[in-house]
Amino acid sequence: MIKDKIADYWNWRSTSYHQEYMSRITDEIEFWERIFTPIIPAGKHLNVIEVGTGPGILALALAKMGHTVTGIDLSPEMVKKAQANAEKLGITAAFREGDAENLDLDAGSADLIISKYLMWTLPHPDAFLNGANKILTPGGQIIAVDGVWYTDTQDHTTPNKPYSEFFDECYEEVRPNLPLGKNNTPEKVVSLITGHGFSDSTWRYLDDYQAFLKSIDIGETTVTPYIVSAKKSC
């Protein structure tokens, strides 16, 4: 099954994913606090769900800001990594396994649903957005961080990276079944989100995050991420 292959890959990647940035995890969390401050409601305590939490960076940033946060990931090994990061930093957040396309959460139970590098990985992004709309309170917010990782003319997988071979093996069948697996421009993501009951959409490229990553990495990060925000129509 496609989901099994996706989980297999991210379970395997969990030991190395984002590892080169872990020495600066506190700086990264503070970076995301600065990003979120102007785009989420001020002075309110929010119930937040991060879908596709990976190592839990965004979840931990929002928890540190005083919100109640649950991080969900298809990969049990990623969940363990996020839990370990929370314990290491002494930040309270909950993490558990879950499927982005079948979120087992009550209607109206979240004020904010957030994701980072999730949308391009989904076989059925419509299912994720329909679920997010159901789970959010009226006027609740969805935030998606992503990047145009693959295009029709360019494949950003670097052959000399140690995980490229296993990625190709796991994703050979998966990638043709990902609607946002290629050309997932911010405009395309905004159009998809607004077509699922969301309004007041905004987006921008995260040049500042790209600069932060390059200050740590050895220059392999070539795609500038973007952030999309929208609200559930009341």
What's the rounded Cα separation, in Å, for the pair 108 and 122? 23
> What's the start-to-end Cα distance of the chain, in Å?
37
What's the CA gap between 109 and 152, in Å, rounded?
39
According to the model, what pLDDT value does residue 161 have?
A: 54
Residue 153 pLDDT: 66
The full set of domain ranges for the chain reads 2-232
Its pTM stands at: 0.90
Beta-carbon-side half-sphere exposure of residue 145 (alpha carbons within 13 Å): 22
**H helices present in 90-148, as ranges:** 125-135
Q: For the structural domain made of 2-232, what CATH number should be given?
A: 3.40.50.150
Q: How many CB atoms lie within 10 A of CB 169?
A: 12
Beta strands in 117-163 (DSSP E): 136-146
pLDDT of residue 160: 45
Tell me how far apart the alpha carbons of residues 168 and 143 are, in angstroms, rounded to a whole number. 29
Residue 233 is predicted with a pLDDT of 87
Rg (CA), the chain: 17
**Sole residue written with tokens 């699922």:** 196
Q: What is the pLDDT along the chain (234 residues), one digit of tens a residue?
A: 777 777 777 777 777 666 666 668 899 999 999 999 999 988 899 999 999 999 999 999 999 999 999 999 999 999 999 999 999 999 999 999 999 999 999 999 999 999 999 999 999 999 999 999 999 999 999 999 999 988 876 555 544 455 566 677 767 777 788 899 889 999 999 999 999 999 999 999 999 998 888 887 655 556 889 999 999 987
